[in-house]
């Protein structure tokens, strides 16, 4: 199936998604990599995580006067977030976007918290930029541009593939 979903995501949104489905997102998504995940756990999130989509990405950003413009944004390897992801998912996050899959602890957290893992296609960094309307804010810029949490206003962001669903299905582990 193919779905166009609006963020923040709800349990009803997640319940209909199954491994193999294609998703396009409209609304807000947030980038978060290793350092941001670690700080969220240590200090609390600078944003309300309820229904949020976190994108494991380190965007290339150009600052022009008071605005930030994204030049490219592609997924980073999600397994780097494995030590932090189960706890972050328990804070209300409904979907994570990345590449390469995640471990059994994160798979269990996806099921326990009714969340999904969406795979973004590597090599499509320029394509994904076309779906970004605006950079609305940035948090924790002291971590550096790739590690900061960027709030992105997106329209039909995708295609994204449901790779690990809330029903314990995982395309990376199919027989």
Q: Residue 85 corresponds to which tokens in the numbers above?
A: 């992801």
- List all residues 6 or more positions away from 41 whose beta carbon is below 8 Å from its beta carbon: 84, 87, 88
Q: Identify whether 31 is preceded by a cis peptide bond (ω within 30 of 0).
A: no
Active site residue 56: no
Q: Which residue in 37, 39, 56, 99 is the catalytic one?
A: 37
Checking DSSP bridges between strand 67-72 and strand 95-98, what pairing results, if any?
A: unpaired
Please state, as a whole number, how many other Cβ atoms lie within 10 Å of the Cβ of residue 141. 12
The catalytic residue positions are 37
């Amino acid at each position: 199936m193919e779905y166009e979903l609006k963020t923040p995501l709800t349990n009803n949104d997640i319940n209909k998604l199954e491994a193999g489905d294609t998703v396009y997102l409209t609304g807000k998504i947030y980038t978060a990599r290793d350092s941001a995940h670690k700080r969220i756990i240590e200090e609390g999130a600078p944003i309300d995580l309820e229904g949020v989509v976190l994108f494991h990405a380190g965007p290339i950003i150009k600052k022009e006067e008071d605005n930030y413009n994204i030049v490219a944004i592609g997924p980073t390897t999600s397994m780097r977030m494995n030590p932090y992801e189960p706890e972050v998912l328990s804070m209300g996050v409904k979907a994570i976007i990345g590449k390469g899959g995640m471990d059994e602890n994160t798979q269990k957290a996806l099921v326990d918290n009714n969340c999904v893992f969406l795979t973004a296609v590597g090599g499509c960094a320029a394509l994904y930029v076309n779906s970004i309307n605006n950079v609305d804010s940035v948090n924790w810029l002291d971590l550096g541009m790739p590690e900061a949490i960027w709030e992105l206003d997106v329209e039909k962001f995708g295609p994204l593939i449901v790779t690990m669903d809330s029903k314990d299905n995982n395309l990376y582990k199919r027989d």
